[in-house]
Every structure is written in C-alpha cells, then in structure tokens.
Amino acid sequence: MSERLRLMCVHAHPDDESSKGAATMAKYVDAGHEVLVVSCTGGERGDILNPRLKDDIHILRDLAQVRRDEMARAQEILGVQHTWLGFVDSGLPEGDPLPPLPEGCFALEPLEVTTEALVREIRRFRPHVVTTYDENGGYPHPDHIMCHDVSVAAFEAAGDPARFPDAGTAWQPLKLYYNQTFSRARIEAFHEALTALGEESPYAEWLENWDRTDRVVTTRVECSAWYDRRDAALLAHATQVDPDGTWFRVPREVQARVWPIEEYELAASFVEVPDDEDDLFAGLPADVEGADALATSGELPLVHDTRTERAA
C-alpha cells in the first residue's frame, strides 16, 4: 500500500479540473494518495457550450446549481476530494473595447483576500504538492490568471506563521507545478495521428497559426490507463463540453498510443528533483511522516525556482 501523500490541484472553474491533469489525479487516487481539487469560483458566468443543451430552460434558470451538480458528478468519477473557495466567476470579457469586469468577481478581489482563503485551505488539507496554472493562466481568462496569482501567493504564505495567523497552523507545500495541457508537441501528435487514420484534422489551422512560445515541461506523468475516467469526468460537465467537439476527435486508444502522458512544469521546489521526472511526488520522502516533517520544519531553502513575471 502506498503512503498517503497529498496533492492539491487549484483550478479556476468547475470543469477545469477535468480538462487539466484529471488522469493524473485519478491515477494518484487509485495509488492510495489523497487528492483535493479546489475550485476558486462556481463558474456562474460560463456559457452553455454544449449545443444540445443551449436552450434548456431548466439549465438557464439556474446554471450555478447545474454546475455544482456537474462538479459533484465529476468529483465522484475521479475519486477526488473537492472544495469551493467561494469566489464568483469573472466571466470572459469580449468585445472591443473590452467591457469592465463585473463588480465583486474573483479577478477583482484584493489578492490578500483570495490568498487568505487559499492559505486556510492549504493549512487544513496540508498538501505536499500543489498544482496551478502558469503566469499567463494557460489561457488569458481573468480567473485563470488570478488562479495563478493566488496559488503562488498562498504557496509563499502558507508556511509562514506570521502571515494570516488566523488561517491555521503554518504548512509549507514542498513543490509547486503548472499544468501544461496544450503543448505544441501534443497537438502535433494528435494532428498526425488523425491524418494517418485518413481523417480530417481539426488541428491544422490551430498549428498553422500557433503563436505561443513553448513552455519548459519538466515532468511527464504516464496516465493513459485513466483516460476513460478523465473523459467521463469531462463529459459530466455536460453544459461545458460539446461531446462532438474537438476534445473527443482523437479516439482514446489512439491518444493512449501517441500521447500517454500529462505534462507539468515544475515552478518551485524545496526538494531536489530528478531530471525527466515522471511523478509529481518525486524527490519527497517516501513515508508520509517524513514528508510532513519537512513541510513543518520552517525556513526551508528553495532548491528550484523558475517562476517568472507575467509580461505586461
């Protein structure tokens, strides 16, 4: 039986956990570890992205409740624990010029307020490892950028007893990762796989117009045996996913063959890590008591820190 190490995955909206790192989470749950998904917002301002449900009056009447129910189902499928941080979805501003963000939304909350909420959750759950998004949010939704900002701020503050003294006993997560879901290499692998099958690839235009710089992937977790759980969890967010959309175009067995991994970028670590990591818990003491002792030892030096400022 594996030791029960603890992984916290911080996400902006319900459904993000099922599209970024879900197979990794299910794998760790099955290995006996504890995994907690933190949803920063309730996804209240999301659109209905499934054409079959677009005009469903029951959904339109209370999308927030529908999304809570969807999240509960996805949680059950993945076997993770889940908590709401309790902030309100900012929505994705559209138009030129962009409209202002709605009053009271997550992205407009003072960073001290959102950080204290996440620090409280870190000190309660006591994760050894935390995942979040990179400084650009993975994609430029204001809630995804705030998700990064609050995760980094809480990672820095949670281990310091002088910060947020009312939010619990100090606890220092030992590693911080960024989800890297859409690498060019992955999209190319899917494109080539569909082309080889003689099928039309929805990725051609995406690749032609590719304008994102490659991130440094440090960690590749083999998790293809959990792709069925990942897909089932994503489909549980029925209002947010078009089951006929590009997400599901590459057959699962083909994905398992050409891309059997989920990718991560190590941003900060208090423990030495191996090159070409294949495990988010790599480098930690193997026993949970040892890992706990390290997280509460105070004044640990960072041995890896590749966090960068967001370009203005």
Residues of the binding site: 13, 16, 144
**Annotated binding-site positions for Zn(2+):** 13, 16, 144
13 binds Zn ion (CB under 5 A): yes
38 binds Zn ion (CB under 5 A): no
CB nearer Zn ion, residue 179 or residue 201? 179
Specify the stretch interacting with Zn ion by CB under 5 A; choose among 4-12, 108-116, 166-174, 200-208: 4-12
Q: What ranges in 105-167 are assigned the alpha helix state H? A: 111-125, 142-157
User: CA 156 to CA 304: how far, in whole Å?
Assistant: 14
Nearest approach, Cβ of residue 144 and Zn ion (Å): 6
Task: Please work out, in degrees rounded to the nearest 5, the angle formed at the alpha carbon of residue 148 by the alpha carbons of 147 and 152.
Answer: 115
User: CA 121 to CA 124: how far, in whole Å?
Assistant: 5
CB nearer Zn ion, residue 102 or residue 168? 102
C-alpha distance from residue 265 to each of 124, 172, 304 (Å): 25, 19, 12
CB nearer Zn ion, residue 222 or residue 242? 242
Site for Zn ion in 117-156 (CB under 5 A): none
CB nearer Zn ion, residue 16 or residue 121? 16
193 binds Zn ion (CB under 5 A): no
Among 5, 14, 16, 175, binds Zn ion (CB under 5 A): 16
Question: How many residues in the shown chain lie near Zn ion by CB under 5 A?
Answer: 3
User: CA 149 to CA 163: how far, in whole Å?
Assistant: 17
DSSP-derived secondary structure for 192-216: HHHHHTT---TTHHHHHT--PPPP-
279 binds Zn ion (CB under 5 A): no
SS3 11: strand
Binding site for Zn ion (CB under 5 A): 12-13, 16
